[in-house]
Structure 1
């Protein structure tokens, strides 16, 4: 009966759908039973597909589809604002110039951690993956905050680079493979720098000739100045400048480089007459779809309430009004500053690693291996979303002339002249709040925000999305959830590889088609577990849920 009612879920008015899916029972026991019933029903493929389609439609239509009339290029619509994607998009027009806001330092103080608040069930593996994943398309131009230097889509630029020139530098040129090296029998990306002639870590490093132009050396040096110089010789040659900035970045680059080369080897064995170019391009197609599956069916699933079991409905976007070219808005860039997830220390066996231990530390990965690190992260809870939970090393300056991560975020939000929190609620189909008590039950925070802003209608959007209360089975507040859902689904599902004309066995080859369909969510192993497991250097546990 429950399953048959879900089969008609696509006919439910969309504004009612989210209330049905997110509603909590009067008791925790009733809520848990209801959630288990939904998960059980969605094991039926037709039910799962129908429910996924309805949920995706709700989020993808929460606000008007792209294109928006304005981008960060200016305050009025122009041909440039409609076509030049080197500028970030924006959801709402800018706020007036004469708005009076609290001092930036006062806002920054709202985020500083007073005591670590752990998440309900989110692992550090999820935290590292989120950072690795979003840094591929949330790329604010450091010379002009209005611009985004990404390709505005999910294209695996983390391992392939942002353009074909950089991709060529990273390719091995044989067998469709990416350049790699073996260290104690394990595969890693090649090192970016030539070996030092001496053991002196102060000796300047020189980029290998084959990788010249891959990254701006001055920007790399700026990234690396927060970590000890003796680690920099082990910098890997990967697609993005931040690809070595944390052990999480580097570990996921290693995993997916290995997966690319593993698939390329399978294709080469199956199709011996294919040249390097066809092997590489087909492998890249398979890899991007695997990432899309991982993101939608496991990553976004974890973000949603009680891990609602999502699937990618076949060709759903083809006829949808929201099927428009991807264009990252400035709000999406800012709402993904999930700094409160970062714990104060990172567990590795009996050891506790501090913040500097995870920065630009590829020797740590080489020593311990992918399996040990990801298993440790999957057993440690990340931080809870909310104010007063950003660790001190992100809220305070590590280098005197560099703003802290929190400072940089507050500055960007102010420079973008974002509309108030309530305006975004209204734009995304949510009722405006009339009092700070509707935002949070924390009376001390209510009083602080009232003193800072006076009226909830003046509350800054970036503060509001972090101040929102939310139930334990959710990961974030209501407005952030809707905004993440809108941009995530409309960016991921409009990928050309998922369109009816392209998502065929011919595009991926019979072997690639098999790999895609065999790598699916299973009760015993998620997609992440399968991909990491076949590329790890030992038994591994890879989970977003802790």
Structure 2
């Protein structure tokens, strides 16, 4: 395998792009956005505005927590030759000059200044209205509001990605938050107990009082498909067959891990049918990539095939998320163009396919294959990124399972009946093609108020603990020092809401929010504000959340050498690079489940509603 040069990731000074021309660009973009709104502009001016906003966000909204006091840790060993061209299991050595950056067990970063992180106290976390009050009054779903421009694979895909990106780990059972309840609250125990986020094990116990709280990500921060391959060498080895680079596949509804009760994925909180389907699909895709590489390079052994296939599969996931999933859920013409430009640049896919990169500029030729750049701050996912990705309203309560062949009903399931170990029972009895078809023809929920799935408000975890996830979402942002809605907007240079009527264009919601929060608009929680605000055209979630996406969606690519300087045929192989270029979610689905061809006919994005078998019988 050819060697790339050692990457020396650029870490510009804190004054990154603060010259007069850049100040003019970012100043104009900010002013135009506040006065008119990027989404109200034609596509080209809208793109220029988003470009200026991204530069400003890179300047002002990347904050490093690694400089806060650490407990002593031994230095890691120097990178081995294989670590220079392979992703490690735990994400270490992605940056060869900073081997701990982004690895499993490293700290979350922040998108707000560290001195603006609110301390975690009972007063701040349980302040009125407490999380349960907010859940019951503003988040409870009585009838689902659908996001009718997309299908429920959007929901499955999102949790599949989240399982790769971040986890705060298993909460300790001691010292739970005790949420006081009103007398008529039907919750079975008073007070409600919500487990705390685990403490940061890397924190220096002698840190001065007032040092901002930090937490660690037990997953790798990199976009490296750890939800398929694991985050440790031991887990990765257990998932591999040891032959031709391949992974063990799901068998009769059982994952390779579920054979061992200690590692059964169905016993992990958050496991459900949609997640299992995506893990199964891309385990099959890994093995298909191995077959492709083995045919092209028959001398490669098991290790070489596995490592190259893992690189290719992870990059394909990143591509699908960038140019298919995200444009489907925020389908404004400007954002569709911008997101595709993240991958291919403004020159576009056709130019890329014909000529490859035509410029070193990410604007013209996209991020993959460009320079590695951390923008002055060591790479990490952030607590604010986690907060805006809390999109539980996407989940349906009722699931109508149907046959891909003729649209015949196969059964009705509640979300409770497709979650945890129950999901494995469904996989044993319903063919995967029919499950995919059912998801592809069902709308998810819109990310908005009064649309939180009712079963997640009374979610029984595998350990038997009953949990209101809506209340937990509110509490988590408070616990982790994520600002309330108006302060969050100020820190992103967005205009705060001056009144409840300005916060939302729904007068009934404005009255309800005011009733819950009193007269203090500053108390409105981030989640409530994002769910209430008017959405840009084509969006399934808020413009406020989108600001974090503008920044972090590109950063996950820019900082990762396997998407930048090492995104080359010498590292991925020529056949591997062609696989990434030639494939999409549609081709992945059809490769493994060709019986979906009618449902996907003519569709270029697998996350928009599919054709039903009834459509083909009764064409318009």
Q: TM-score w.r.t. structure 1 length?
A: 0.76
CA contact (8 A) 2:228 2:279 kept: yes
- Equivalent-residue separation in structure 1 for 2:234 and 2:48 (angstroms): 38
Q: 1:412 to 1:190 in 2, by over 3 A?
A: closer
For residue 164 of structure 2, give the secondary structure of its aligned residue in structure 1.
coil
- Any residues of structure 2 matched to 1:450-461 within 5 Å, and which? 450-451=514-515, 452-461=517-526
Say which of 10, 22, 30 aligns to 1:15. Answer: 30
Q: Deviations over 1:417-470 (max 9, x none)?
A: 332211211221211221111111222322232231422223222321222122
The runs of 5 or more residues in structure 2 that have no matched partner are 1-23, 73-99, 172-197, 200-214, 346-364, 403-408, 601-605, 610-620
Corresponding residue for 2:236?
167
Cα gap change, 1:424/1:20 in structure 2, threshold over 3 Å: closer, same or farther? closer
Q: Give yes or no for contact 2:286–2:309 (8 Å, CA) kept in 1.
A: yes
Is the 8 Å Cα contact of residues 151 and 439 (structure 2) preserved in structure 1?
Answer: yes
The farther-off stretch of 363-372 and 269-278 is: 363-372
Q: How far apart in 1 are the matches of 2:233 and 2:146?
A: 42
Structure 2 Cα separation of the partners of residues 510 and 189 of structure 1: 34
Is structure 2 residue 586 aligned with structure 1 residue 529? yes
2:141 to 110, 113, 118: 113
Is 1:300 the equivalent of 2:322? Answer: no
- 2:106 alignment partner, SS class: coil
Gaps of 5+ in 1: 1-9, 25-33, 39-46, 195-205, 225-240, 520-526
Distance 1:299 1:115 in 2: 25
What is the CA distance between 1:259 and its match in structure 2? 0.8
- Of 265-274 and 86-95, deviating more is 86-95
- Tell me how far apart the structure 1 counterparts of residues 593 and 375 of structure 2 sit (CA, whole Å): 38
Match of 1:370 among 403, 426, 432: 432
Q: Which residue of 2 aligns with 1:448?
A: 512
Once the two structures are superposed, residues 81-125 of structure 1 have per-residue CA deviations (whole angstroms, 9 ceiling, x without a partner) of 998963332333322555543122211111111221111312111
Corresponding residue for residue 221 of structure 2? 152
CA gap of 1:52–1:468, structure 2 versus 1, over 3 A, is: closer
**TM superposition shift of 1:472:** 4.8
2:384 is equivalent to residue 331 of structure 1? yes
Tell me the secondary structure at the aligned position of residue 136 of structure 1: helix
- 2:164 aligned to 128, 131, 136, which one? 136
Deviations 1:191-212 (A, max 9, x none): 4355xxxxxxxxxxx54xxxx7
1:429 match: 493
Aligned to 1:469: 534
Q: 1:415 aligns with which of 479, 492, 501?
A: 479
Indicate how the Cα distance of structure 1 residues 114 and 90 shifts in structure 2: closer, same or farther if over 3 A, else same.
Answer: same
Once the two structures are superposed, the pairs formed by residues 309-324 of structure 1 within 5 Å of their partners are: 309=337, 310-311=339-340, 312=343, 313=345, 314=365, 316=367, 318=371, 322=375
Q: CA deviation at 1:54?
A: 7.3
1:405 to 456, 469, 491: 469
Q: Say whether the 8 Å CA contact 1:136–1:158 is kept in structure 2.
A: yes
Write out aligned runs for 1:217-296 (5 A): 224=267, 241=268, 245-296=271-322
Change (3 A) 1:319 1:133: closer
Structure 1 moving runs of 4+ over 6 Å: 50-54, 80-84
**What pairs up with 1:10-89 in 2 under 5 angstroms?**
13-15=28-30, 21-23=38-40, 55=50, 58-59=53-54, 61-62=56-57, 64=59, 68-70=63-65, 77-78=68-69, 86-89=106-109
Q: What are the superposed Cα offsets for residues 198-228 of structure 1, whole Å, 9 maximum, x if unpaired?
A: xxxxxxxx54xxxx7xx3x7xx6xx64xxxx
Alpha-carbon shift at residue 272 of structure 1 (Å) = 1.5
Per the TM alignment, residue 178 of structure 1 is displaced from its structure 2 partner at its CA by 0.9
Partner of 2:193 in structure 1? none
Give the corresponding residue for 2:117: 94
Q: Distance in 2 between matches of 1:179 and 1:17?
A: 53
Match of 1:544 in 2: 607
Number of aligned pairs?
Answer: 460
* Secondary structure at the counterpart of residue 218 of structure 2: coil
The 1:192–1:420 alpha-carbon spacing in structure 2 relative to 1, beyond 3 Å, is closer
SS, match of residue 147 in structure 2: strand
CA distance in 2, matches of 1:121, 1:280: 37
Alignment-derived partner of residue 353 in structure 1: 413
